Structure 1
Amino acid sequence: MEIKNKVTIHDIAEKLNITASTVSRALNNSPRISEATKKAVLKAAKQMNYQPNNIAAALRNGKSNIIGIIVPTADRAFFASVIRGIEEVANTLDHKIIISQSYDNYEKEVQTIDALFRARVDGIIASIGKNTENFEHFRNAQKKGMPLVLFDRTTDELEVSQVLIDDYWGAYKVVEHLIEQGCRRIAHFTNPKKVSVFKERLRGYVDALKDNGLPYEEELVVPSNLQLADGRASMEQLLQLKELPDAVFSASDFGAMGAMQVLKEHNIQIPQQIALAGFSNDPFTSFTDPPLTTVDQLSITMGKRTAELFFQQLKSDDSNFIPQKTVLKPELIIRKSSLKKDK
């Protein structure tokens, strides 16, 4: 098979019998180049399938107009919607995005930060993986002058701008709602890592119990990675207790879905015997049987605000930059999985 070399500005220059510097200036719309020459260069570039070397351009100009985005997984509706919000703002400012997935793997996250830096992106927007407890790779990127903004899964151990929802308030409202429905023994699925969202949801759960005169019972709090299989295992664990819970609040919709599957397999009625609530308002939650009570995280709004903070930092003088924190108020979505009382 014949391997074709990549077309360069020197190839275009040779075809048009002009200098490579003229081709470069024409491609960059320099006012020093005539319109006729610009048209001829653009036509030749298209005919020859010329692809600009973005990394080389970034080295010359100090800008690539590309933002690196790191998410735990891009196939989750929440992260996909946040990315959409970021991209809508980026497109208006002539920036493109590169999306990388960490799969909640610390080593993968470290490698991705390094790869994005070597790709000369203008900066990084990230949501921290569940298993990340050491943030030195993010600090190293900052030390190298890389703008960094965190969203959703953030940490106060880094001095960065961040956008998140009020996870504490969202969790508090879920538990308060379950108590209003007559629930008195409410279990909670959480994640034991350092990621702020799960710590705040646990704190909201604990405070809602306390404020309503209910005890915190350690046996009702089950830590896991909060995926579907984890929800199943956590629910099976709760069913081994001498006294069953009358409600389960999962810090993720996937954990709640796993619990729902197990309860159905054991012929336990939802919500009459055990009420269920999740967190995130993933699309499937409105189609479960019964539909799942959850918390809407305002994902597109979060993406847009995250992009706005990123571009503010990108345009700022590093010496005067002060990180900003935006906290969005989530919305409790009440559905049949938690409605014990007839309305």
Structure 2
Amino acid sequence: MQISLSLWRVNKMDVNLKYIAKLANVSVSTVSRALRNDPKVKEDTKERINMIAEKLNYVPNQAAKSLVTRQTKTLGLVLPNLRTFMHDIFDGIEKVCSKNDYNILLGISDGNPYKEMKELKLLLEKRVDGIILFYVGGVYNRESLEFLSNISLPIVLIDRYLPNSNFDFVVSNNEGGSRMLVDYLVNKGHEKIGFIYQLEDSTTIKERLNGFSHSFIDKPISLHPEYIIADECMGMENGYRCTNKLLSMKEPPSAIVGSTGDITLGVVKYLIENPEMSKKVTLCGFDDFEFISFLKIPVTTVTQQTGKMGEKAAEIILKRINGEEFNRQKIFLNTNLFER
């Protein structure tokens, strides 16, 4: 087939199915089916159409396509930040989305329930097909819960979940992680073990606290409630202040467990500033940061399968988007101990 060279000199904005159909001397519907690799289109016709589309650098109009498929091929993701293990979660989600030709729209909540709702509203306005959410609204926050329950799209929760909801979730076995740390410390001969937690309404912290407390039931040592503390501030500052309180006691603990990565870093900061105390305390915590091996204070950690958490969440949400029906997914990923 001879095609005038002038027909190839076209503005990219003018390249559409109708223009390709004109060059290929076929109908618009045939072009559409050929580009979707429809087996009903003859191979030579399909080859000719794809050759023309490639030469013209044709890019499908996703907005128009979504009107037909009712999908934007876009996934919404809301995380509290992009620090620490959030990168691994994102990488896991992106890995699955890339294989399935899905884009990701990312929102950052900064751990604020109201900003979280704002980010979710923006994603809904962008017509995402589904949402993966690191939920910070809390188990008892009625406003956040009502907002989530009114979203008609598929939602998968990561790292923390809502026990009395129907949302799929992928989290770590947090109780098991705490038990692992207590077993480790008891085997090392520790009898007085402190635990610093966060005053927040999340299943993650509650399960880590429960796992720690229940670990002493079958142990030859007793639980010391006075060593289980939290401060009103959050993150590193919480870890720093609580370490000061614990080590200022008349009979301080010989080991401390930080219930989050930021809390553990707060403990490290205190011990670095008070080197005489660092030799008297064994430190353990959750989350294994890349730089933690380079700290002056050795930290034995419970590591989470954060990359796998992201992958599993993405696999579930894409199945939901594609209309697959299955029971609520409640996935608890095993944790591991990394001794230092």
Structure 1 length normalisation: TM-score? Answer: 0.81
Contact preservation (8 Å) 1:210, 1:216: no
Structure 2 match to 1:135: 145
**Equivalent residues in 2 for 1:195-274, closer than 5 Å:** 195-212=202-219, 213-218=221-226, 220-223=228-231, 226-270=234-278, 272-274=279-281
Amino acid at match of 2:242: S
Distance 1:90 1:265 in 2: 44
Paired residue secondary structure (2:164):
coil
Deviation at 1:114, TM superposition (A): 1.4
Counterpart residue number, 1:294: 301
- Which of 162, 179, 183 matches 1:176? 183
SS at 1:294's partner residue? strand
Residue 254 of structure 1, CA deviation: 2.1
2:172 corresponds to which of 165, 173, 183: 165
CA RMSD, aligned part only? 3.1
Cα gap change, 1:93/1:261 in structure 2, threshold over 3 Å: closer, same or farther? Answer: same
Structure 1 segments unaligned to the other structure (5+ residues): 1-5, 336-343
Partner of 2:6: none
Between the aligned partners of 2:164 and 2:233, the Cα distance in structure 1 is: 22
**1:65 to 1:294, Cα distance in 2 relative to 1, 3 A:** same
Matches within 5 A, 1:1-343: 7=13, 13=19, 25=32, 28-29=35-36, 34-35=45-46, 36=48, 39-44=51-56, 54-76=62-84, 78-129=85-136, 133=141, 134-141=144-151, 144=152, 146-212=153-219, 213-218=221-226, 220-223=228-231, 226-270=234-278, 272-317=279-324, 320-335=325-340
1:60 is displaced (CA, Å) by 3.0
| Shift of residue 26, structure 1, vs aligned partner | 8.0
Corresponding pairs, count: 320
* Whole-Å separation in 2 of the counterparts to 1:8 and 1:209: 71
| CA distance 1:210–1:154, shift in 2 (3 Å) | same
Post-superposition offset of 1:266? 2.2
> CA deviation digits over 1:72-129, x for unaligned, max 9?
11232x1211221222222222222222221111111101111112212111111112
SS across alignment from 2:280: coil
Return the offset for 1:37.
5.1
Q: TM-score, normalised by structure 2?
A: 0.81
Partners of 2:37 and 2:282 in 1: CA distance: 66
Cα separation, 1, equivalents of 2:182 and 2:70: 50
Q: CA deviation at 1:41?
A: 4.8
Deviations, residues 298-320 of structure 1 (Å, cap 9, x unaligned): 11222222222223322335xx5
In the alignment, residue 289 of structure 2 is paired with which amino acid?
A: D
Q: Structure 1 residues 30 and 294 mapped into 2: Cα distance closer, same or farther (>3 Å)?
A: closer
Aligned amino acid, residue 331 of structure 2: T
Q: Deviations over 1:211-258 (max 9, x none)?
A: 324134145322456522322122223344333222110011221121
Task: State the alpha-carbon separation in 2 of the partners of residues 222 and 19 from structure 1.
Answer: 71
Contact between 1:9 and 1:24, CA under 8 Å: does it hold in 2?
A: no
The match for 1:3 is none
- The one-letter code of the counterpart of 1:98 is L
Alpha-carbon contact 2:117-2:147 (below 8 Å) kept: yes
After the TM superposition, which segments of 4 or more aligned residues of structure 1 sit over 6 Å from their partners?
A: 16-20
Change (3 A) 1:181 1:165: same
Identity of aligned residues (%): 24
User: Which residue type is aligned with residue 330 of structure 1?
Assistant: T
Which digits, 9 at most, give the CA deviation of each residue in 1:14-35, with x for residues without a partner? 9x79999679838954767955
Q: 1:225 to 1:301 in 2, by over 3 A?
A: farther
More divergent stretch after superposition (31-40 vs 296-305):
31-40
Change (3 A) 1:23 1:110: farther
User: Which one has the largest radius of gyration?
Assistant: 2
Structure 1's 274 and 20: CA in aligned 2 closer, same or farther, altered over 3 A?
farther
Structure 2 SS opposite 1:25: helix
Q: CA-to-partner distance for each residue in 1:242-298, whole Å, 9 max, x for gaps?
A: 33222110011221121122123223343x411111101121222111331111101
Aligned 8 A contact 1:187 1:248 in 2: yes
